[in-house]
Amino acid sequence: MSQMALPLAWPPDPRADAFLVSESNAAAVHTLEHWATWPTRAALLTGPRKSGRSLLARIFAAKSGGTILDDADRLAEADVFHAWNQAQETRRPLLIVAEAEPPTWPVKLPDLRSRLAASARAAIQPPDDALMPQLLGRLFDRRALDARNDLIEWLAARIERSHVAVMRAVDALDQEAMERRKRLSIPFARITLVDAGIISPARPSEDT
């Protein structure tokens, strides 16, 4: 018999400002901030990989006193079903975190499907134009890399609009800069990211 995966009580007080907010995720933030208005004591938070969905869940838990069921789409459906029911019994809000909602998340258990359908939904979308430079800037700061605003703007205009692509680009630049002992610049970034297959070679009119 498999052991039931219980909702997680995350460490208290994650920094609320650690999660960058833009139009791409503001609706999700609003839904979690207003958990008392949920139609049930459970909600489903979805978002692409590296989108900060687990961080946002931790902030929710710290503010609401609720619990989290992270990577719920990888757990036994019966465990998710029982956690949902337990949240209703205890009146303690439960945030179910997954990469996508049904039907993309292929839930087979009819009772779980109906309960998820009755729950509030909060979805993090791919990063928008406003969020892209913020994500890049924060990642560069965390790596202690000197990335000027012109480079960040150049990257934001060329990298695929996804959280994973942003992380891949910063990883590649960090590694190459360290190995070659080079400072970050647009020409350096262009060569590095084209070689890594992260951006396409520029047309002459774009090569600035």
β-sheet bridge partners, residue 46: 98, 123
- What is d(CA 22, CA 36) in angstroms, rounded to the nearest whole number? 23
User: Residue 204: its pLDDT value, please?
Assistant: 39
166: DSSP letter: H
Phi-psi label, residue 77: left if phi above 0, alpha if psi -120 to 50, beta otherwise: alpha
CB atoms closer than 10 angstroms to residue 89: 8
Residues 15-74 have pLDDT tens digits of 666 889 999 999 999 999 999 999 999 999 999 999 999 999 999 999 999 999 999 999
**Summary count for the chain: helices (H), strands (E):** 8, 4
- Closest by CA position to 19, among listed 45, 49, 58: 58
C-alpha 5/C-alpha 97 separation (Å) is 13
CA 133 – CA 168 distance, rounded (Å): 14
Say which CATH superfamily domain 16-123 falls into. P-loop containing nucleotide triphosphate hydrolases (3.40.50.300)
Under 8 Å between Cβ of 126 and 24: yes
pLDDT tens across the length of the chain (208 residues): 333 333 333 334 456 668 899 999 999 999 999 999 999 999 999 999 999 999 999 999 999 999 999 999 999 999 999 999 999 999 999 999 999 999 999 999 999 999 999 999 999 999 999 999 999 999 999 999 999 999 999 999 999 999 999 999 999 999 999 999 999 999 999 999 999 999 988 643 455 5
Which CATH class, in words, describes the domain spanning 131-198? mainly alpha
Domain chopping of the chain, boundaries: 16-123, 131-198
Reduced to 3 states (helix: H, G, I; strand: E, B; else coil), residue 80 is helix
